[in-house]
Amino acid sequence: MSRPDGGRRGGGARAGRLRRQLADIGLLAAERERHHDHVGDDLDHGASHHARQARRHAHDHLHPERGHPAPGSAAGTPSPPVAPDGLRAATGYASYELCASGCSGSVPASLRRPLRIPSGASSSCPVSSGRSVAGFSGPALGGGPVYALGPDAHGTLATNSFIGSAWSAGRVTWVASPGYRGPVLIRGRLLGGAGAVGFGEGHVPVDEMQLSGPAGTSPGEPAGSREWPSFARVKSPGCYAFQVDGTSFSTTIVFRATGA
């Protein structure tokens, strides 16, 4: 004979088993959720790590002076700066307009001394005085052995508009005395401001002159001297300075640009 409560007891056992199965399923789901969260955290952490590495690599590449050296440059070797104010970056001796097909290489890194442009307002321009240097025609500016010919005896460089360019141009011929045969680096800036000096021909001038042989000479100049005719380029009148660096010297030439 069956017990009156047998059905209820059997149903209770089945309900208990069902509750235990549901609990096991809930625990499994919770464990899976915890595992998913843990994996997601790991993936997020890994992605963040790779993103940080990418940002650090990009920063070091763009700013080698602030971090690790950029690929291809030796540690501790100064890298050419980024060209300022919309100028083109010089790429070596071949950037000089009369040397493009006959020159290779670039100036030694040791010539990239810090710029020592005189401080002060552009309005009070302490121009360099021109002087006579044996064998060269016209006033020569600078302490040598590399001089600027083009500004007058009062340090004034007349500039004219350059067709199709925002940069006006004044003729400057750089000459080296016979006693110096090494490379030359020439850069320039505005006194008391952020204006740049460009060099050479073209609608967009280069940011510096890198000079070496071969170079021409003019009749009557001393044997063994060298000269490089070119243009100094500015966007507006004002007081500017060239810094001329060689292997054994560094000199500054201050001039006033007019007519721009």
pLDDT of residue 126: 93
Higher pLDDT, 146 or 86: 146
With 80 as the cut, is the pLDDT of residue 220 above it? no
SS (H, E, C) the chain: CCCCCHHHHHHHHHHHHHHHHHHHHHHHHHHHHHHHHHHHHHHHHHHHHHHHHHHHHHHHHHCCCCCCCCCCCCCCCCCCCCCCCCCECCCCHHHCCCCCCCCCCCCCHHHCCCCCCCCCCCCCCCCCCCECCCCCCCCEECCCCEEEECCCCCCEEECECCCCCCCEEEEEEEEECCCCCCCEEEEEEECCCCCECEECCCCCCECCEEECCCCECCCCCCCCCEEEEEEEEECCCEEEEEEEECCCCEEEEEEEEECC
Instruction: Give the model confidence (pLDDT) of 70-129 as tens digits.
Output: 333 344 445 555 666 789 999 999 999 988 677 889 999 999 999 998 887 667 899 998
Instruction: Give the model confidence (pLDDT) of 2-52 as tens digits.
Output: 344 444 344 444 444 444 443 443 433 444 444 444 434 443 444 444 444
With 70 as the cut, is the pLDDT of residue 65 above it? no
Q: What is the mean pLDDT of residues 130-155?
A: 88
Domain 93-258 fold? Immunoglobulin-like (2.60.40)
Q: What is the pTM of this model?
A: 0.67
Tell me what percent of the residues of the chain surpass a pLDDT of 70: 63
pLDDT of residue 42: 40
Higher pLDDT, 31 or 258: 258
